[in-house]
Amino acid sequence: MYQTLIFYHSVFRWLVVLSLAYSIYRAHRGYVSGAVFSKKDNFVRHWTATIAHIQMVLGILIYIQSPVTSYFWKHVKESSWHSETLFFGGIHGMLMLAAIVLVTIGSALAKRRATDKEKFRTLLVWYTLALLIVFIAIPWPFSPLANRPYLR
């Protein structure tokens, strides 16, 4: 079960990045051109948030079953000095949760904005901030804190 969760988590992490990037592209294009916030834009907004929430649930399920996080919480003082354990035990989860909160707030605010330009601007700002946090929190293969391959 744990390996299956890791597989879906690996797939969904890229779906989150791609959907956020696509949403940001559409929001930027719509904001700059003064386009109408179409049903497709609303669809993209909704599914970007949904994909992010699915990824959050998968991440939480992995987090509570992970031997790394289990070790981290049993030995917080000692494991705080080991960058990879600290990263996966605390930093990664907190940053990703913050990114999901930004996606959720941005999606909800954009849905309620009165004008199309405000909707695009809201999505552009909130989703860009969320994507930046996601990029910081990803355990890139070149990261000095913790690294994982692009695909497992």
DSSP track, 74-98: HSHHHHTTSHHHHIIIIIHHHHHHH
What pLDDT, on the 0 to 100 scale, is given for residue 145? 79
Amino acid at 12: F
What pLDDT, on the 0 to 100 scale, is given for residue 151? 67
Q: Which of 42-46, 60-64, 67-71, 143-147 has the highest mean pLDDT?
A: 42-46
* Average per-residue pLDDT for the chain: 92
User: What is the band of 88 on the pLDDT scale with cuts at 50, 70, 90?
Assistant: confident
DSSP string, 100-151: HHHHHHHHHHHHH-SSHHHHHHHHHHHHHHHHHHHHHHS--TT-SS----S-
Q: Would the pLDDT of 152 be above 70?
A: no
Tell which wins on pLDDT, 12 or 131: 131
What pLDDT, on the 0 to 100 scale, is given for residue 144? 81
* Structure token digits, residue 107: 């999606």
What pLDDT, on the 0 to 100 scale, is given for residue 123? 98
User: What is the band of 114 on the pLDDT scale with cuts at 50, 70, 90?
Assistant: very high
Tell which wins on pLDDT, 128 or 79: 128
Percent of the chain with pLDDT over 70: 99
Angle between the N-to-C axes of helices 116-137 and 39-65, in degrees from 0 to 180, rounded to the nearest 10: 20
Instruction: Specify the DSSP class assigned to residue 34.
Output: T
Contacts of 135 (CB under 8 A, 6+ apart): none
What pLDDT, on the 0 to 100 scale, is given for residue 22? 98
For 2-57, how does the pLDDT look when each residue is reduced to its tens digit (9 = 90+)? 888 888 888 888 999 999 999 999 999 999 999 999 999 999 999 999 999 999 99
Radius of gyration in angstroms for the set of CA atoms belonging to the chain, rounded to a whole number: 17
Sign of CA dihedral 151, 92, 74, 1: negative
